[in-house]
Structure 1
């Protein structure tokens, strides 16, 4: 189990690193959009290449950051019922979802997108739009992004099993999220006039 936990930590570090730098793709798309707007207004010139590189960067940003988003538990979740179940039932639901929903979907996307990306690369297919870009770089984001998401799903699976075995913390709690007990204690301290609780609530 310790070897699997080491693998989980390595996957977490990988997706943390990717997520840290994915924001620069959004920044690049924003800069290109602004420059394109200025050039179009000032010189009455534009190109489909400017437009396509923007959505290339946007596609890369959200695809490769999908694993990081799962790590931080920022994906949309409907926990109306799940949150009322005992923790072991919640873990069972989490494991079931990772095994029978996330893993098959990722594998299916990889099965279909990887050959397509390789074909695009070998053929050098270009955009049909005048002044458009080569296609394979944006297609390559699909297998890469879903590989990172699949790995993070397996990392979460390892952490769920470790929690059930008493070998790790609860992986369903966000790293910066306070438990109900912690929130209650801080609220009681704040009512009692404890300055440390006030400072913690501000943070």
Structure 2
């Protein structure tokens, strides 16, 4: 079990790095958006086209990257929405079992389903080196690859969460239980940790 917990920690670490990197991508996305707006209005004033399809698509690509690649990091930090009627007010042990069943019944099958149907989609895009239909647009095949990477990382993080919940139920020391990460995060935000 200790080896599995170590693997889970490695997955958590990788997704943590990716999640923090997406914070910088968000900053880049906002910067590109500002450049687009300023370019469009300034260009209208001077009678020149200062915005481009590449910039517009780059902003959309950045958003797509954030959404797809940060999902696993959010799962690791217990930041996804839960159904409070089912989860709130339950003991940690019950919440651990809810997490296990939710991961096995919903998360992992959904990720496998998404990966299965995305492989051909991404492969076709790479085979033709798909590009934007817009003049001056960006290639499409790299951003479509992010779909596979995002769901693969979410699948791995789901496995990590499963390992951690089972380890916690078995009493493995040093493994946080359901809600423990939330308590640490709230304490850190309040300056208590």
State TM-score, norm by structure 2. 0.87
Which residue is equivalent to 1:12?
A: 12
Q: How many residues align?
A: 183
1:26 and 1:166, CA in 2 relative to 1: closer, same or farther beyond 3 A? same
Give the SS at the match of 2:137.
coil
Q: Mean Cα displacement is larger for which, 37-46 or 135-144?
A: 37-46
Q: Which has the larger radius of gyration?
A: 1
Q: Greater relative contact order: 1 or 2 (C-alpha under 8 angstroms, separation 6 or more)?
A: 2
Q: Deviations over 1:38-90 (max 9, x none)?
A: 22222331222211110101100121111100011111111223233343332
Return the offset for 1:118. 2.0
1:149 aligns with 2:154: yes
Q: Given the alignment of the two structures, is residue 172 of structure 1 paired with residue 178 of structure 2, yes or no?
A: yes
C-alpha deviations, 1:106-140, integer Å up to 9, x for none? Answer: 00110111221122112011222233221112211
Instruction: Return the alpha-carbon distance in structure 1 between the equivalents of residues 29 and 190 of structure 2.
Output: 36
User: Residue 105 of structure 2 is aligned with which of 95, 100, 105?
Assistant: 100
Does the 8 Å CA contact 2:130/2:141 hold for their aligned counterparts?
Answer: yes
Aligned-pair CA distance for 1:94: 1.0
The answer for unaligned runs of 5 or more in structure 2 is: none
129-138 or 60-69: which moved more?
A: 129-138
| TM-score normalised by L of structure 1 | 0.83
Contact preservation (8 Å) 1:32, 1:54: yes
Measured at CA, do residues 94 and 41 of structure 1 come closer, stay the same or move farther in structure 2, by a change above 3 Å? same
Return the offset for 1:3. 0.8
Q: How does 1:26-37 map to 2 (within 5 A)?
A: 26-37=26-37
Look up the match of 2:164: 159
Q: Does residue 139 of structure 2 align to residue 138 of structure 1?
A: no
Q: Are the aligned partners of 1:156 and 1:171 in contact in 2 as well (CA < 8 Å)? A: no
Report what 2:2 is aligned to: 2
The equivalences for 1:1-203 within 5 A come to 1-44=1-44, 45=49, 46-168=51-173, 169-177=175-183, 203=192
* Residue segments in structure 1 that go unaligned for 5+ positions in a row: 184-199
User: What is the alpha-carbon root mean square deviation over aligned residues?
Assistant: 2.0
